[in-house]
Amino acid sequence: MKLTNEMGLPQPFVDAATSDHEYTPKRYSVTAVLKGTREAILQRRHDGEIEQDVSDMVWAIFGSAVHGILEKSQETESQLKENWLSVDMGDGYELSGIFDLYDDSTGTVTDYKTATAWKVVFGEFDDWKKQTMCYVWMLRQIGFENARRGEIVAMLKDHSKTKAKADHTYPQHPVFRIGWDFTDEELEECGKALKEKFEEIRRCEQLPDDELPMCTEEERWHKADKWAVMKEGRKSAVKLYDSEQEAQERADKEGEKFYVEHRPGDDQKCRDYCAACEFCAHYRELVGRK
């Protein structure tokens, strides 16, 4: 990845954002395989062409700083800290990952995160659950049979004490903890899904960019089209509907001052958070580029 520094930030800031990471052929990390196959392959294929400004990496730097402090702690006899794992996925392919802490006495993998308070408010934890489940599955593959639980300890970078006092549904502390106990059946399904993912990666690595399989709606953070019933003189919608027909029926029922407004859906991951977007035909179509 090519780093730019459009704001002319001090060199220590640039150094903190700089990484000497190089992709290893046939080795994919847990975070990579949880992305869409198109995104994962494009990011590796065009790594030397992708540009990112250091000013856009502030939260990555913040997260690295948090990890750097926490990893200085001394683990107990039953704990492993900041360990790199690799599991053979066949045909020379490897699944790799680094977990922050594993305690064999409880069978718990703990990963530290930095996150927004709104992630907690909206309960968007599927990505955390999948990631820790992969780590538990990997630990079992290398002999840690006690591994069975995943846990996230998240530092909420935008936590507000004022909001916490006023709203009991808002996270009450700037640290949030959540965990999941995985059954043998869930872990078996996880392993099956990972093997299928690597089979797809093997098939797709030789395909041209534009022939790579489209990322799923979930992987694109897709928001579907909506139709808003509006009232003259009012800025907000009376109600949102998933279909134009339902919205029009409601507007007709309400009277002549009501009308329907189409609100197109969007793929937020593609538009704002995919590093390889410039090399993706879907993104170019999304933003009106050829």
- 265-281 average pLDDT score: 93
Instruction: Encode pLDDT of 205-244 as tens digits.
Output: 999 999 999 999 999 999 999 999 999 999 999 999 999 9
Give the model's pLDDT for residue 290: 58
Do 40 and 182 lie in one domain? The reply is: yes
Q: What would the two tokens of residue 118 be? A: 């709104």
What does DSSP assign to residue 171? -
Do 198 and 231 lie in one domain? The reply is: no
Residue 217 lies in a domain: no
CA-closest candidate to residue 219, choices 158, 157, 282: 282
- Say whether pLDDT at 277 is over 70: yes
- 29-33 average pLDDT score: 96
Residue 95 lies in a domain: yes
Helices 126-141 and 184-204 meet at what angle, rounded to 10?
A: 90
Tally of helices (H runs) and strands (E runs) in the chain: 11, 13
Do 33 and 115 lie in one domain? The reply is: yes
* Beta-sheet strands, E only, within 126-279: 149-156, 175-181, 222-223, 226-231, 239-241, 258-263, 266-267
Q: What would the two tokens of residue 137 be? A: 């599955």
Give the model's pLDDT for residue 14: 87
Q: Is 229 exposed, middle or buried (0-12, 13-18, 19+ CB in 10 A)?
A: buried
Q: How many CA atoms lie within 13 A of 175 on its CB side?
A: 5
Residue 207 lies in a domain: yes
Do 123 and 226 lie in one domain? The reply is: no
The H or E element spanning position 2 is: strand 2-4
- CA-to-CA distance for 241 and 221, rounded, in angstroms? 19
Q: If you write DSSP's letter for every residue of 68-85 in order, what string do you get?
A: HHHTTSPP-TTEEEEEEE
- CA-to-CA distance for 99 and 84, rounded, in angstroms? 7
- Say whether pLDDT at 132 is over 70: yes
Number of domains in the chain: 2
What residue type is assigned to position 198 of the chain? Answer: F
Asked if residue 33 lies in contact with residue 194, where contact means CB atoms within 8 angstroms, the answer is yes
Do 101 and 26 lie in one domain? The reply is: yes
Task: List b or e across 183-199, with b for residues whose CB sees 16 or more CB atoms inside 10 angstroms.
Answer: eeebbeebbeebeebbe
- Bridge partners of residue 240, in order along the sequence: 228
- Say whether pLDDT at 67 is over 80: no
Give the model's pLDDT for residue 64: 78
We report the CATH number of the domain holding residue 200 as 3.90.320.10
- Bridge partners of residue 157, in order along the sequence: none
Do 122 and 153 lie in one domain? The reply is: yes
Do 22 and 83 lie in one domain? The reply is: yes
Do 18 and 155 lie in one domain? The reply is: yes
- CA-to-CA distance for 156 and 151, rounded, in angstroms? 16
Task: List b or e across 246-260, with b for residues whose CB sees 16 or more CB atoms inside 10 angstroms.
Answer: ebbebbeeeeeebeb
Q: What would the two tokens of residue 54 be? A: 């250091």
Do 20 and 102 lie in one domain? The reply is: yes
What does DSSP assign to residue 279? G
- CA-to-CA distance for 78 and 108, rounded, in angstroms? 11
Given 154, 187, 211, which residue is the final one in a domain? Answer: 211
Residue 251 lies in a domain: yes
Q: Considering the chain, what is the average pLDDT of its residues?
A: 92
User: Which residue segment(s) compose the domain that 247 sits in?
Assistant: 222-286
Residue 232 lies in a domain: yes
Residue 216 lies in a domain: no
Instruction: Encode pLDDT of 34-51 as tens digits.
Output: 999 999 999 999 999 999
Do 130 and 253 lie in one domain? The reply is: no
